[in-house]
Amino acid sequence: MIEFAREAYDDVVRHADAGGAEEVCGVLAGTRGDGDEPSVVARAHEAENVADAPAVRYRIDPEEQLELFEAIEADGREVVGFYHSHPTGPAHPSETDASRATWPGYSYVICALDGSPFVGSWRWRGDEAGFEQETVSVSSER
């Protein structure tokens, strides 16, 4: 399970919508849960999409990713995972998402915009099982 603070959830949806026909991406900060404990997202950090084909892929520059990780840790938070948008769907990880996932145990959040905004989350297992879908909830208290 992954729980978003209302502001962080709204930031992901707003960023996805602002990206138009191109995918947007970023890093999620908060507390990463293990096992039965949910991950809690307190903040979404936007990143520039430097993919060669941003209409169908996302890529965070490694230097920017490191800077975001350091800023998150300096703020006393953990990296929970990553988010990106699918402007025209699907509302689940694509084959490209699965082939490029490299952080086992971290959440990969997708905001699909083909209809009403849909925010889903999948935890990368790091093995042949691939992604495991997580329940997404939003809290106004965090």
Catalytic residues: 23
Q: How is residue 55 written in tokens? A: 């209409």
Exposed, middle or buried, 49 (CB in 10 Å: 0-12/13-18/19+)? buried
Query: Cβ distance 109 to 12 under 8 Å?
Result: yes
Give the closest residue to 67 by CA, choosing from 84, 93, 47, 92. 47
Query: Which run of H or E residues covers position 18?
Result: helix 6-18
H-helix or E-strand spanning residue 98:
helix 95-100
